[in-house]
Amino acid sequence: MTKRILCLLTVVSFAASCGGGDEESAADEPLEPMMSFFLTSAGLGDGAALGGLEGADAYCQSLAAAVGAGGTWHAYLSAAATADAAAVNARDRIGTGPWYNQALVEVASDIDNLHLTMAPGTGASNNLTKETVLNERGGMTNGRGDDPNRHDILTGSNLDGTVTVGDGDTTCNNWTSNGEGSASVGHFDRNGGGANPDSWNFAHASRGCGQEDLQGTGGDGLFYCFSI
């Protein structure tokens, strides 16, 4: 009887050991990258009136779903504080990275790398360029020098990803206005004018919040989407 019990214990122990080894091997295998970042291929068509952060997030989710990308998606947009709600920073809405475009090229390794302020090619930057900032279908977007230019991207954010606070509106009334107001925009192609022409998220302020105003200064109501 004692010998039989020892034998059974040995078999059980061996099976557990083998199972544990398989689990450890699976855990050690690197995950295959998936698309976790894109620039919207089109805006909502109503200027910067996106339905607030919730509407913008829903649009990111729908574009991702249309190309078979799973997960939860958020728009890279900040929102100003109101009487009823605290300010929201874009950098706090998008997870921790790394992020890959539709071609599975890494555009940023983590939140700090994403917000490096130096331009590409300088030795200290993320990998957001005209060639790597693809839309959800893998297409490129017109930048400066193309017709029409669509490089102004809605963010409402500073260089570090926090909400822009100024004397006036910087988020088009928290993404509900298609008329009066203004929004901080970045240049996805890292090229153009403004105080920070090389910045993907904070180059200058928009002329207004309507579709014609956005288009008139080189935009089209586009924004970035990140999988969290």
How confident is the model over 155-166, as pLDDT tens digits? 999 999 999 998
The CA distance from 94 to 77, in Å, is: 10
Q: How far is CA 17 from CA 11, 13, 14, 23, 77, in A?
A: 10, 6, 5, 10, 49
Burial class (CB in 10 A: 0-12, 13-18, 19+), 176: middle
pLDDT of residue 25: 47
pTM of the complete model? 0.86
Q: Specify whether the CB–CB gap between 152 and 185 falls below 8 A.
A: yes
Side-chain half-sphere of 118: how many Cα atoms within 13 Å?
7
Q: What is the mean pLDDT of residues 47-74?
A: 98
Average pLDDT, the chain: 89
Q: Where are the alpha helices (DSSP H) in 37-171?
A: 52-66, 111-114
Q: Which residues contact 185 (CB under 8 A, 6 or more apart)?
A: 152, 153, 154, 155, 202, 203, 204, 205, 206, 219
Given this model, what pLDDT does residue 159 score?
96
Six-digit token string for 9: 């214990």
- Under the banding of pLDDT at 50, 70 and 90, the label for residue 98 is very high
pLDDT of the residue at 117: 75
| Cα–Cα distance measured from residue 150 to residue 223, given in angstroms and rounded to the nearest whole number | 11
Q: What share of the chain is helix, strand, coil (3-state, %, to 5)?
A: 25, 15, 60
Task: Report residue 111 as tokens.
Answer: 């939140």
The answer on pLDDT for 19 being more than 70 is: no
Residue 8 pLDDT > 50: no
Tokens of 21: 């080894």
User: Which residue type is seen at 184?
Assistant: S
In this prediction, residue 167 carries a pLDDT of: 85
Give 119's pLDDT tier (boundaries 50, 70, 90): low
pLDDT score recorded for residue 68: 97
Q: What mean pLDDT is predicted for residues 65-84?
A: 97
Residue 169 has pLDDT above 90, yes or no: yes
Cβ-based burial of 153 (10 A; exposed 0-12, middle 13-18, buried ≥19): buried
Confidence band of 33 (pLDDT split at 50, 70, 90):
confident
pLDDT at residue 13 in the model: 44
pLDDT for the residue 27: 53
Q: Which domains does the chain have, with CATH numbers?
A: 33-228 (3.10.100.10)
Name residues whose C-beta falls within 8 Å of residue 38's C-beta, 6 or more positions apart in sequence: 63, 64, 101, 102, 134, 135, 136, 224, 225
Q: With cut-offs at 50, 70 and 90, classify the pLDDT of residue 30.
A: low
pLDDT surpassing 90 at residue 123: no
Average pLDDT over every residue of 67-86: 97
